[in-house]
Amino acid sequence: MSVPSVDLNATIPNNVGLADDPKVRRALEHWQPRYLEWWRDMGPTDFSEREVYLRTAVSVEPGGWAHWDRVRMPDYRWGVFLTPHAQAATIHVGDETGAPAWDEVPGEHRGALRRIIVTQADTEPASVEQQRLLGHMAPSLYDMRNLFQVNVEEGRHLWAMVYLLHKYFGKDGREEAEALLERRSGDPDHPRILGAFNQPCDHWLSFFCFTMFADRDGKFQLAALRESAFDPLARSCEFMLTEEAFHLFVGETGMERIIRRAAELEALDPDGDVRRQGGIDFGTLQRAINYWFSYCLDLFGSELSNNAAGYFGAGLKGRFKEAERYADHRALAQHYTLVSVERDRLVEREVPLRSAINEVLRDDYIADCERAVRKWNHLLTELGSPQRLRLPNRRFHRHQGLHAGHSFDPAGHLITAAQFEARRDEWLLSAADNRYLRAIMTPVREPGKMAHWIAPPRRGIGGQDLDFAYVRD
């Protein structure tokens, strides 16, 4: 499939040839005002009239796709972009490895592909809804701009998935695209599909944890879908990953800046009491990590999954960097050792690798999170702080999969539900923590100034200094 050049002047900027595809163009132009209405109702509150220094995707060339300018968010040019490939793609995962990739949806995989695309799509507006009030307590204009950048790009990721639904799934796809604008994060009657996307994210510690842990799930899920035999999905996800990298940067460096500040305040206080100095203490940081990391582990699905084995065998989803890291893309003869609870004890058992493919992706995700935590701990060593942060065990506080329904402490030991409840507030972000965090998060709107609880970033962004007016009236 050749990809047309980028049409930036179209109502919907794109490189998918919408000008020559009147049916899909009309369908998307019909969906566009509904999307803008959703953005007005559920996007960032009260900042529509501000000029925000944003990057916009204007090309698909590596390194040259972003244009920086002051933009009002409702005027952001949400477009549809696929990464072009130099050569015809072949399938490189599952039973049909080596066959040509699909330009259309095969009838037998229509239901599964629709489900995967809708699940992915649903997370994008969900995250915007979760973050809609955060502009009001931004620790600096730099951070406020980064939040809005993340938000508009999640909106673009929704566009990427909605294009696939309209183009390849006919009437069902159009209905799914409508439903994506109707579900609401946290709504008891019409919730978003996946658990983490219904949790409140109502202060900046949660925002940084979210972009650190949930967006990182996005990285791994998109990387698995980039391996898909359905070529338009693979190419969409590849381009989404270029934008996702910035979201991970926001999360990882945001946490690092809070940790740096906590260590500085700890050293200032005679008793090492960070809260007394108005900062975010290490206990709260650890509870926030425990809370978000465990919800995000759920996003990989069950450890044993027939759905996932089927997706892999059919070539709908691969492993992380499937093409580069693995020689055997069928993975029929291999096994995986799972740990699960049987008769109140933790036992190991061997299962066919394909049925544990969600766990394989979760392993790669955990390793990437561990790398970031090691970096934070290295910073603490450099700053002379005795504090250390850690990831809880993968069994801790799970709501999906084999470990849901059992209770574990953060080290992964099996405990009773009563023992867990007795220590819940010691292990997970509590109502009192959230109250404290919201109370210290008074907004800082002066260019170059930072809230007390967070260290400044090393530099500004988009070629500007830190004291640039990233958001202005």
User: Which residues form the interface with ligand BYC (CB under 6 A)?
Assistant: 116, 119-120, 123-124, 127, 154, 194-195, 214-215, 217-218, 221, 298-302, 305, 307-308, 358, 400
The Cα–Cα gap between 258 and 463 comes to 24
User: For residues 91 and 194, which CB has a smaller minimum distance to ligand BYC in the complex?
Assistant: 194
Minimum distance, C-beta of residue 297 to ligand BYC, in the bound complex (Å): 9
* DSSP secondary structure of 250-268: HHHHHHHHHHHHHHHHHHH
Minimum distance, C-beta of residue 194 to ligand BYC, in the bound complex (Å): 4
Minimum distance, C-beta of residue 400 to ligand BYC, in the bound complex (Å): 4
Say how far residue 425 (Cα) sits from the centre of its chain.
26
Give strand pairing partners of 90.
100
Minimum distance, C-beta of residue 336 to ligand BYC, in the bound complex (Å): 14
User: For residues 286 and 358, which CB has a smaller minimum distance to ligand BYC in the complex?
Assistant: 358
The Cα–Cα gap between 297 and 277 comes to 33
User: Which residue shows structure tokens 């529509």?
Assistant: 48
* DSSP secondary structure of 27-50: HHHHHHHHHHHHHHHHSSTT-TTS
User: For residues 353 and 451, which CB has a smaller minimum distance to ligand BYC in the complex?
Assistant: 353
Helix ranges (H only) for 63-200 are 110-130, 141-168, 170-180
Q: Which residue is nearest to ligand BYC (CB)?
A: 301
Minimum distance, C-beta of residue 356 to ligand BYC, in the bound complex (Å): 11
Give strand pairing partners of 407.
415
Cβ 136 vs Cβ 110: under 8 Å = no
Cβ 202 vs Cβ 137: under 8 Å = no
User: For residues 238 and 298, which CB has a smaller minimum distance to ligand BYC in the complex?
Assistant: 298
Assigned token pair, 235: 């190419």
Cβ 93 vs Cβ 318: under 8 Å = yes
User: For residues 232 and 301, which CB has a smaller minimum distance to ligand BYC in the complex?
Assistant: 301
User: For residues 399 and 452, which CB has a smaller minimum distance to ligand BYC in the complex?
Assistant: 399
User: For residues 135 and 218, which CB has a smaller minimum distance to ligand BYC in the complex?
Assistant: 218
Minimum distance, C-beta of residue 301 to ligand BYC, in the bound complex (Å): 3
Minimum distance, C-beta of residue 273 to ligand BYC, in the bound complex (Å): 34
